[in-house]
Amino acid sequence: MTMPLETTHLEYPKRRYGMDHDRYEWSMLANRPPVAWPSGASVAVWFNVSLQHFPLNPSGKPVKLPGSMSMPYPDLRHYTLRDYGNRVGVYRFLDAFARHGITPSFAINACLVERYPALIDAIVAFGGEILGHSWSMDTPHAGGLERAQESELVARALATLRGRTGAPVRGWLSPGKLQSANTPEILRENEIEYFCDWVNDELPYRFHTASGDLWSLPLSTELEDRFVVLENQHSEASWAQQVIDAFQFLLDEAQGQGGRLLTVSLHPWVMGQPHRIKHLETVLAHVAAEPRAWCASPSAILAAFSATAAPAKAEE
Amino acid sequence: MKEDPGYYGYWPYRDRPRIRWPNGARVAFWVAPNIEFYELDPPQNPHRAPWPHPFPAVPGYSIRDYGNRVGHMRQMKVLDKYNVRGSVSLSAALCQHHPEIIDLCKERDWEFFTHGIYNTRYTYGMSEEQERAMILDSIETIEAAVGRRPVGYLAPALSHSEVTIDLFAELGGLYTCDLFHDDQPTPLRVRGGQRFVSIPYSLELNDTIAYVVNKIEPRRYGQMIKDAFDRLYAEGAQSGTVMCIPTHNYQVSCPHRLRAFEEALEYVTGHSDVWVTTGREIAEYYLANCYDEACADISRRGEAQGE
The residue type found at A225 is D
Shortest distance between the Cα of A218 and any Cα of chain B, in A, equals 10
Nearest residue of B to residue A232, measured between CA atoms: B215
CA dist A209 and A186 (Å) reads 9
CA dist B118 and B115 (Å) reads 8
List domains and CATH numbers for chain B.
28-304 (3.20.20.370)
Q: How many CB atoms lie within 10 A of CB A295?
A: 23
Share of chain B above pLDDT 90, in %: 98
Domain ranges of chain A: 32-314
Question: Do residues B88 and B12 make contact, with C-beta atoms less than 8 angstroms apart?
Answer: no
pLDDT the model gives residue A310: 55
pLDDT the model gives residue B102: 98
Residue B106 DSSP label: H
Nearest residue of B to residue A65, measured between CA atoms: B53
Q: How confident is the model over A40-48, as a mean pLDDT?
A: 98
Radius of gyration from C-alpha coordinates of chain A: 20
Q: Are strands B111-114 and B175-176 parallel, antiparallel or unpaired?
A: unpaired
Question: Do residues B71 and B63 make contact, with C-beta atoms less than 8 angstroms apart?
Answer: no
Please tell me if residue A63 touches chain B, with a CB cutoff of 8 Å: yes
Q: How confident is the model over B200-209, as a mean pLDDT?
A: 97
pLDDT the model gives residue A314: 43
pLDDT the model gives residue B12: 96
Residue B265 has pLDDT above 50, yes or no: yes
CA A276 from centre of chain: 21
Query: What is the tens place of the pLDDT at every residue in B91-140?
Result: 999 999 999 999 999 999 999 999 999 999 999 999 999 999 999 999 99
Helix then strand then coil, % of chain B, to nearest 5: 45, 10, 45
Query: What is the tens place of the pLDDT at every residue in A183-192?
Result: 999 999 999 9
* CB < 8 Å to B259, chain A: 245, 248-249
CA angle (A30 as vertex; A36, B252 as ends), nearest 5: 115
* CB < 8 Å to B53, chain A: 63, 142-143, 178
CA distances from A170 to A160, A167, A196, A206 (A): 14, 9, 11, 15
Question: Do residues A108 and A51 make contact, with C-beta atoms less than 8 angstroms apart?
Answer: yes
Shortest distance between the Cα of B285 and any Cα of chain A, in A, equals 35
Q: Which of B61, B96, B218 sits opposite A16 (nearest CB)?
A: B96
DSSP helix/strand/coil, A29: helix
Question: Do residues A135 and A110 make contact, with C-beta atoms less than 8 angstroms apart?
Answer: yes
CB pairs under 8 A between A and B: 157
Q: B217, A243: Cβ pair inside 8 Å?
A: no
For B173-184, b where at least 16 C-beta lie within 10 A, e where not — what string? bbbbbbbeebbb
Q: B97, A144: Cβ pair inside 8 Å?
A: no
CA dist B29 and B233 (Å) reads 10
Averaged pLDDT of chain A: 96
Check whether the bond before B150 is cis (ω within 30° of 0). no
Residues 6+ apart with CB under 8 A from B303: none
Q: How many CA atoms lie within 13 A of A158 on its CB side?
A: 22
Q: What ipTM goes with this model?
A: 0.96
Give which of B36, B61, B62, B117 to mutate to test A binding, by max A Cβ within 10 Å: B62
Shortest distance between the Cα of A262 and any Cα of chain B, in A, equals 9
Shortest distance between the Cα of A124 and any Cα of chain B, in A, equals 30
Residue B126 DSSP label: -
CA dist B116 and B94 (Å) reads 10
Residues 6+ apart with CB under 8 A from A81: A269
Q: Are strands B197-198 and B186-187 parallel, antiparallel or unpaired?
A: antiparallel
Query: What is the tens place of the pLDDT at every residue in A94-122?
Result: 999 999 999 999 999 999 999 999 999 99
The three-state (H, E, C) secondary structure of A91-123, written as one string:
HHHHHHHHHCCCCCEEEECCHHHHHCHHHHHHH
Q: How confident is the model over A14-40, as a mean pLDDT?
A: 97
CA dist B234 and A111 (Å) reads 61
CA dist B254 and A249 (Å) reads 9
Say which CATH topology domain A32-314 has.
Answer: TIM Barrel (3.20.20)
* CB < 8 Å to A19, chain B: 40, 65, 97
Shortest distance between the Cα of B21 and any Cα of chain A, in A, equals 36
Q: How confident is the model over A220-232, as a mean pLDDT?
A: 98
Q: Which of B58, B129, B217 sits opposite A234 (nearest CB)?
A: B217
Shortest distance between the Cα of A268 and any Cα of chain B, in A, equals 22
**Phi, psi angles (nearest 5°) of residue B99:** -60, -20
* CB < 8 Å to A200, chain B: 61-66, 69-70
Q: Are strands A194-195 and A214-216 parallel, antiparallel or unpaired?
A: parallel
Q: How confident is the model over A53-77, as a mean pLDDT?
A: 95
pLDDT the model gives residue A280: 98
Q: A221, B134: Cβ pair inside 8 Å?
A: no
pLDDT the model gives residue A164: 97
Shortest distance between the Cα of B242 and any Cα of chain A, in A, equals 30
Interface of A with B in 163-202 (CB under 8 A): 176-181, 197-202
Q: How confident is the model over B159-178, as a mean pLDDT?
A: 98
Nearest residue of A to residue B41, measured between CA atoms: A20
DSSP helix/strand/coil, A171: strand
* CB < 8 Å to B255, chain A: 202, 245-247, 249-250, 253, 262
Question: Do residues A261 and A43 make contact, with C-beta atoms less than 8 angstroms apart?
Answer: yes
Q: How confident is the model over A197-213, as a mean pLDDT?
A: 98
Nearest residue of B to residue A238, measured between CA atoms: B217
Question: Do residues B18 and B25 make contact, with C-beta atoms less than 8 angstroms apart?
Answer: no
CA dist B240 and B274 (Å) reads 10
For A27-64, b where at least 16 C-beta lie within 10 A, e where not — what string? bbbbebeebebeeebbbbbbbbbbbbbbbeebeeebbb
Query: What is the tens place of the pLDDT at every residue in B41-76?
Result: 999 999 999 999 999 999 999 999 999 999 999 999
Residue B171 has pLDDT above 70, yes or no: yes
Query: What is the tens place of the pLDDT at every residue in A228-264?
Result: 999 999 999 999 999 999 999 999 999 999 999 999 9
CA dist A130 and A121 (Å) reads 12
Residues 6+ apart with CB under 8 A from A248: B259
pLDDT the model gives residue A263: 98
Question: Do residues B74 and A30 make contact, with C-beta atoms less than 8 angstroms apart?
Answer: yes
Please tell me if residue A17 touches chain B, with a CB cutoff of 8 Å: yes
DSSP letters spanning B179-220: --S-SS-EE---TT----EE----STT-HHIIIIIS---HHH
Q: Given pLDDT bands bounded at 50, 70 and 90, which one contains residue A312?
A: very low
Question: Do residues A63 and B53 make contact, with C-beta atoms less than 8 angstroms apart?
Answer: yes
**Phi, psi angles (nearest 5°) of residue A103:** -110, 115
Give which of A43, A206, A245 to mutate to test B binding, by max B Cβ within 10 Å: A245
CA dist A109 and A81 (Å) reads 17
Question: Do residues B245 and B225 make contact, with C-beta atoms less than 8 angstroms apart?
Answer: yes
CA dist A31 and A53 (Å) reads 41
Interface of B with A in 288-307 (CB under 8 A): none
